[in-house]
Structure 1
Amino acid sequence: MSGQAFNVMIVGQAGRLQYEAVLFAMSLALTTTNVRLFVAEPQQGDLWDSDPRIKDPEIRSILEDHGATFLPFENRHFGQSYPYGNKIEALLALPEAEPFVFFDTDTLVLSDLCAVPFDFARPTASLRREGTWPRIELYGPGYHDTWAALYHRFGLDFQSSLDPRWPDEYWQRYLYFNAGFFFYHCPRRFGQRFLDYALSIRDDPPPELVCQSLDPWLDQVALPLVIQSLGGGRDTLPGGALDGSVTCHYRTFPLLYAREDESVIRMLENIAAPNRIKRVLKQHEPLLRTLYQGRGWKARALFDRDALPRGEQGFRNRLKREGFWMR
């Protein structure tokens, strides 16, 4: 439970993720002690068209100066064709039998992560999600049949995964997470289970998935099955901490400015202000334009704080229409 030392893992590689990794590492170092940060780095190999490693020496130096340890790992099953699989394969490189929390790099740590009462024996993941999968077709299987087929594939208790507060065939009745964070007491066990389930679904999907796309959803399809199989669920962590007062999964910088609390913006602007950091982050055009050229505040001004869109798509559509969207 709370008070344990644990490891934190993000995936870092060339491109957008390396800049997000800098911000994550700086926010973690500013708020949290007694954790080890691993930046899992895919290595060059047959499954990549180009070398995915972080080659900028200044970015590597900044990450190390803020407590990061680089963790090289090999892609044997995913890679260029499905980079979301990095979070699965990287788990197998973490120290065995040591509690871990994984975060997507597009996350800021706002306060002490060690204050979160993790129960590492009962995993869960982010409930800040929308009903993105499955996409129900008119004459295809519904939510119930689609999810039930997956639970039955792996010999899991489907009925206990259901949330009776929601009606049949409504997406929130079914165990579904965003994969922006998850945790467990052993990364190797979690990672192997995650890999086994994801490969089974990808390579031999049940007939009920015939209408469904697994790209980019494969990790989020397998994740609730992994969590259910390891004794976790949707309610093993108090609400309001992760994806709340302790961390913010902002997804994109225009969304951060448009949607999040001003305290998140203050954190971002504070850690991005030193000249050494600024020189690096200005190389990433979304940060250059949104943060350093002030377009983020203009994007925020598009939205009435008392009448914000209910879903992420409402923010995206307005930002795109007004020319502020950048990934």
Structure 2
Amino acid sequence: MVDKRQFNIVAVGQSGRLSYEAVLLAASLRATNPDFTGRLFIAVPQAGPLWPDDPAIQDPDILALLVQFGAEIIPFENKIFGASYPYGNKIECLTALPDEPFLFVDTDTVFTGPLASVGFDFAKPSASMKREGTWPVLELYGPGYTEIWRALYDRFGLDFESSLDTSQPAEYWKRYLYFNAGWFFHESPQRFGKRFAEYARVIRDDAPPELICQPLSPWLDQVALPLVIHSFGGGRPGDALAGLDGDVTCHWRTMPLFYARESDHAVEVVEQVLAPNPVKKVLKEYLPFKKMVYQGKGRDVRALFDRDDLPRREQMIRNKIKREGLWVR
């Protein structure tokens, strides 16, 4: 099913790194999707008991660029996480949105192609498969993948067996529903956000005993997300969503990794939207953009790698960049 309903896009922004990334995100959306009819929200956490410092975007130049590129600042209040777990922003911001179909993207995302080519079915949520087997972390004599994940599904009254990819062997991490939370979508941010917050809080505060030795920071959002998606009848993304993490969006994560492994087209989009002087004047203050884009060091990183034959593990890419003195974060 292809869902052609109008939808909104939301990313989290706050002072510092995320504010610069938000400008790139907004600029790339307008450059590659000039006919996008939804709204782009930059959700900004507000000062309060859970934030010792005000996290709001204060820089007037950055705010002006966001407005120029059509973004709307939408404030939200942290009631559960805040500074102790900033990844919780992507959970708590959802209920501040109008209750219309939405696509959440991490702020370190660039749009590189037409969203109209993506076959969304907003009634059946999904999320990014651009992930590694980071969780759970198995102990020598502890419970295995099946026991840990089954305990979570049981905790929320969900059917575990129907979540499995049975083409993958038992006790191999890809058999179990696990996403990167770099993008996800649903038809109702109110219902999805409420359940996401509920599941994440229960896992944090009242987890099953099988999780007693499991690290939940920074993985809590990615532990709760597959349970939420499964509870709404969603699952792994099919071919209709291939443009996400493909020809339509790029989750770049860090500028050195972006230049090392992403497509020529993605690099062209980033360099083009960051080139105009009014943008450069503001974004050159962010060191990764300054060094990688404006000083051309990203092209030096790019020359180190063959995109058709990249090292299998990300850490190997990072190490090679660092040995050349080109790493910046």
Classify the TM-score, shorter chain: over 0.9
Of stretches 216-225 and 32-41 in structure 1, the one that deviates more from structure 2 is 32-41
Q: 2:204 aligns to what?
A: 202
Contact map agreement 1:89 1:191 (CA 8 A) in 2: yes
Contact map agreement 1:7 1:37 (CA 8 A) in 2: yes
Q: Does 1:85 align with 2:88?
A: yes
Compared with structure 1, are the counterparts of its residues 276 and 191 closer, same or farther at alpha carbon in structure 2 (3 Å cutoff)? same
Q: Does 1:72 align with 2:37?
A: no
1:314 CA drift (Å): 2.3
Partners of 2:250 and 2:287 in 1: CA distance: 21
Of stretches 187-196 and 288-297 in structure 1, the one that deviates more from structure 2 is 288-297
Partners of 1:237 and 1:156 in 2: CA distance: 26
Partners of 1:22 and 1:29 in 2: CA distance: 11
Partners of 1:114 and 1:40 in 2: CA distance: 23
Partners of 2:41 and 2:246 in 1: CA distance: 23
Contact map agreement 1:281 1:287 (CA 8 A) in 2: yes
Q: 1:31 aligns to what?
A: 32
Contact map agreement 2:12 2:43 (CA 8 A) in 1: yes
Unaligned runs of 5+ in 2: none
1:236 CA drift (Å): 4.8
Q: 1:17 aligns to what?
A: 18
Contact map agreement 1:34 1:114 (CA 8 A) in 2: no
**SS of match in other structure, 1:245:** coil
One-letter code of the match for 2:284? K
Q: 2:283 aligns to what?
A: 281
One-letter code of the match for 2:27? M
1:102 CA drift (Å): 0.3
**SS of match in other structure, 2:282:** helix
Q: 1:137 aligns to what?
A: 139
Q: Does 1:240 align with 2:250?
A: no
Q: How does 1:1-327 map to 2 (within 5 A)?
A: 1-32=2-33, 33-96=36-99, 98-236=100-238, 238-327=240-329
1:237 CA drift (Å): 5.6
TM normalised by structure 2 equals 0.97
Of stretches 297-306 and 161-170 in structure 1, the one that deviates more from structure 2 is 297-306
User: Cα RMSD (Å) of the superposition?
Assistant: 1.1
**SS of match in other structure, 2:245:** helix
Count residues with an aligned counterpart: 326
Structure 1 residue runs of 4+, over 4 Å off?
A: none
Q: Deviations over 1:166-199 (max 9, x none)?
A: 0000000000000000000000000000000000
Q: Deviations over 1:86-107 (max 9, x none)?
A: 00000010012x1000000100
Partners of 1:237 and 1:200 in 2: CA distance: 33
Unaligned runs of 5+ in 1: none
Contact map agreement 2:126 2:229 (CA 8 A) in 1: yes
How many percent identity over aligned positions? 60
Compared with structure 1, are the counterparts of its residues 315 and 195 closer, same or farther at alpha carbon in structure 2 (3 Å cutoff)? same
